[in-house]
Chain A
Amino acid sequence: MKIQDASNSIINEFDNFEDWMDKYNYLIELGKSLPMIEEKYKVESNLIPGCQSRVWLHADFNGELIHFTADSDAVITKGIANLLIRVYSDHTPQEILDASTEFIKEIGLTEHLSPTRSNGLMSMIKQIKMYALAYKTKLAIDK
């Protein structure tokens, strides 16, 4: 699935929610179902700064696509990480760099989550984009 399609399908899912409880219930479900990061990747260097809860993000690059896994000690944060992985994982570095972050606004996460949390969310996206940039550069050098 293309990044844009994945974003659109998330926007559609969130459109169905009538109130904040439904939305958070869903985020919590997503959090509980997030495939766990391998224990060996839950290390200091994979921790994302700027979050009130601890968030680990790990990237695997197979030479073409980047695969992301994540974990957090807070469930809502895990739910958000799950959404981001659905959108950004298993794409090329260039696709990830080109992708818009508009869907976050569309599903009302920036408006409903506190600024510290939003910053954590933004830090996660920033980190995903950083990985994409790093692997893109690596590809260019290897060529």
Chain B
Amino acid sequence: MQLLDPMVIRKDFPILSTMVNNHPLVYLDNAATTQKPQVVLDALIDYYTHYNANVHRGVHNLSQQATIAFEDVREKIRQFINARYSHEIIYTRGTTESINLVASTWGRKNIQAGDEILISEIEHHSNIVPWQMLCEEKQAHLKVIPIHENGTLNIEAFYQMLNSKVKLLAITHVSNTLGTITPLKELIEAAHANNTVVLVDGAQALSHIKVDVQDLDCDFYAFSAHKVYGPMGIGGLYGKEKILEAMPPYQGGGEMIQSVSFEKTTYNELPFKFEAGTPNAGGAIGFGAALDYVKKLGIENIAAYEHQLCTYATERLMENSNIRIVGTAPDKASVISFLIDRIHPFDAGTILDQMGIAVRTGNHCTQPLMEKYGVPGTIRASLAFYNTEAEIDALINGIAKVEQLFL
């Protein structure tokens, strides 16, 4: 274990020295998207400057260079999440598309009328709506695992809900709103014993904790590059080879075919079967640089630093008796949702922004969860390894200003 020095790390992120509204930027909205280190920006510029070409299509030199780099990243992703084979990694636009891919292909093929799909109360809309659409189409039922007041899953309820009709468990690894880390291994083991397939929404997990899909034994794992210091518009879906093989293709187009005639088309092998059209090759190459960067820092070191910073932030916030933290699971990533008594989150966010402090306010794409807590939304500070205690202090001072203005 090695102690990270955020002051050194910050120099790798040009955007962190930006001024916002005449204040140094305090970026605490990392659950929405993370900032990009210089190595990622360099990789993008290098790709578009020196070897931009369509991948898998040309015999010419540039196309081959681009294809090699694009496929190298697939292998980097495989290593990063410890998948068995690199063809188990499908490039997508991100977590949302990955989940929709599974709903449209595996779901349409395997979900029948009367079947049940289990999700939980802390899911992001991306892991609710695709299943609702599927259930509507198939006359299947969406069931929701409740949570306890502190934001942890109600495991007893989960066991009670697990019956022979449950064909799929679609669950987040880390809650984007509360930071709760779900006890995936236990859930997956129980689900598999019940012949239930498991999809994990890993959007918030990859940047914070070690992910090992073989150890978890999940069937699908969805993720986005931009939440792990990579570019937007690229991400992936891990799926077990056997399941992916049996799935029908997603979108039709170039690359995903083996041969096309007007009578019949045969489909390409994994992973290309699911990658119709020209992919975001530049984005993938940027993603590769981001994963190298995270690997260099070490995910365990990142987790340790973020845990320490999150504890500091929680303690500082709790010094103020007007503040209520929503979601206090013992096992959580560096996400803190909170409310200031008698002040609308939106009012608070607007004033904090005037002081250069970027937090998210609103329902965080988890409306059902906000309803459960009976709040219109929260203020969310989500931390990354480049955040500092000084920035937490700036947030605390900002909140004091907000209270001074509104109370």
Contacts and interface: CB of A to CB of B under 8 A. Distances in A.
Interface of A: 20-21, 24-25, 28, 52-54, 73-77, 112-114, 116-117
Contact of A74 (B21, B344, B405): B344
B361 A52 contact: yes
Contact of B405 (A28, A114, A117): A28
B353 A75 contact: no
B354 A117 contact: no
Contacts of A74: 344, 346-347
Nearest to B21: A20
A76 B346 contact: yes
A28 B347 CA distance: 9
Contact of B346 (A24, A52, A112): A52
A48 B231 CA distance: 34
A117 B349 CA distance: 11
B354 A20 contact: yes
Instruction: Determine the main DSSP class of A at the interface with B.
Output: helix
Given A21-B354, A74-B346, A76-B350, 16 more contacts: A25-B405, A28-B405, A28-B406, A52-B361, A52-B377, A53-B346, A53-B347, A74-B344, A75-B344, A75-B406, A76-B346, A76-B347, A77-B346, A77-B347, A114-B350, A116-B362
Interface in B238-255: none
A53 B406 contact: no
A117 B350 contact: yes
Contacts of A76: 346-347, 350
Interface in B318-361: 344, 346-347, 349-351, 353-354, 361
Contacts of B361: 52
Given A53-B346, A53-B376, A76-B346, A24 B362 contact: no
13 contacts: A24-B351, A52-B346, A52-B377, A53-B344, A74-B344, A74-B347, A75-B344, A75-B347, A76-B350, A113-B350, A114-B349, A117-B346, A117-B350
Interface string B153-170: 000000000000000000
Nearest to A116: B362
A119 to B, nearest CB: 13
B404 to A, nearest CB: 10
Contacts of A52: 346, 361-362, 377
Contacts of B347: 53, 74-77
